[in-house]
Amino acid sequence: MTARTDLGRIFLRVAPRILLGAMLLVGPGMAAGAEPPLTKGEIETIIREYLLSHPEVILESVRTAQERQRAEERQRAGAALLARQDELLRDPSSPVGGNPDGDVTVVEFFDYRCGHCQRVAPTLAELVAEDRNVRVVYKELPILSPESLLAAQAALAANLQGKYAPFHRALMAFDGPLGQAAILAIASQVGLDPARLQVDMRSRAVQEALQKNDALARAIGLRGTPAFVIGSELIPGAPDLAGLKALVARARGR
C-alpha cells in the first residue's frame, strides 16, 4: 500500500469531521436573525475556499489521524502480545536457538526469500554469540513466493531431524533460486536425509505449524517480514546490532 493511498484513506475519514465543524460554525446558529440559514451548497463553497487558502488544516488533520491510528495499533499489538505469550514463546512446533534457558527471548518472524531477513540473519547470530543468555524462537512466515513456502516447509522438516540450525543458516545465506533441487542439495550438505525431508515437508505437523504462525502473525498485527517480538515490544523491520542489544537490555530490565 502506498503512502499516497494511506493519506487518501485517512483524509476520507477526517474530511467529514472538518465538514461538520465548519457547518457548526457557519450554520443556523450563527445565521439566526435577519439572515436566512446558509444552504448546503453555500457551506460547501465556504469550506472549499477555506481549505484551499489554509491547506495546513488538512495536513494537521491527517497527521493527527495518523498518530491516533498508530497509537491504536500499538495498543492492539500490545494487548495481542500479552494474550499470545504461550504461542509466541512456548509453541513446541517452533524451533529454538541460542540459549534454550536464556532469560530474554527474541522471537523472529521471517521469510527465506526476504532480502531484509537475509541481511538481519548475521546480526541476530552476532547477538546470540555475544549474549549467551538470549533465547531465539524462529517463526517461519512464508508470505512472498512459492519458494518461500517450500523453504519454510523444508526448514520445519529439518527440525524434525534435529538439524534446524545449520539448515536455517544455509537457506538464509543461499543466493539463488530456491527450488526443490536447491533445497535438497543444501539438505545433503548439512547432513540431512533428503528422502525423509521430502516426506516430512508434506506432513500434517509441518502444515499445522505454518498455519499457526500465519494466524499468530495476523493476530498481533504483522504486515511483513522480518519482524521481532522482544519482551513486550513488536519491532517491524531489521534492527541493527545496537538496536537488538538495546531491546534485549530493555526486556531484561523489566
Alpha-carbon radius of gyration of the chain: 26
Q: Which residues pair with 75 in a beta bridge?
A: none
The residue behind cell 531484561 is 252
pLDDT for the residue numbered 66:
72
Q: Which residues of the chain, if any, have pLDDT below 70? A: 1-35, 69-78
pLDDT for the residue numbered 60:
80
Q: Which residues of 143-163 are buried (b: 16+ CB within 10 A; e: fewer)?
A: bbeebbbbbbbbbbbbbbbeb
Under 8 Å between Cβ of 113 and 148: yes
pLDDT for the residue numbered 234:
92
Under 8 Å between Cβ of 127 and 109: no
Closest CA to 76 of 193, 223, 224: 223
pLDDT for the residue numbered 1:
42
168: helix, strand or coil: helix
CA 26 – CA 4 distance, rounded (Å): 31
46: helix, strand or coil: helix
pLDDT for the residue numbered 64:
77
pLDDT for the residue numbered 30:
47
Closest CA to 149 of 179, 109, 188: 179
pLDDT for the residue numbered 122:
97
Domains and CATH numbers, the chain: 3-74 (no CATH), 87-253 (3.40.30.10)
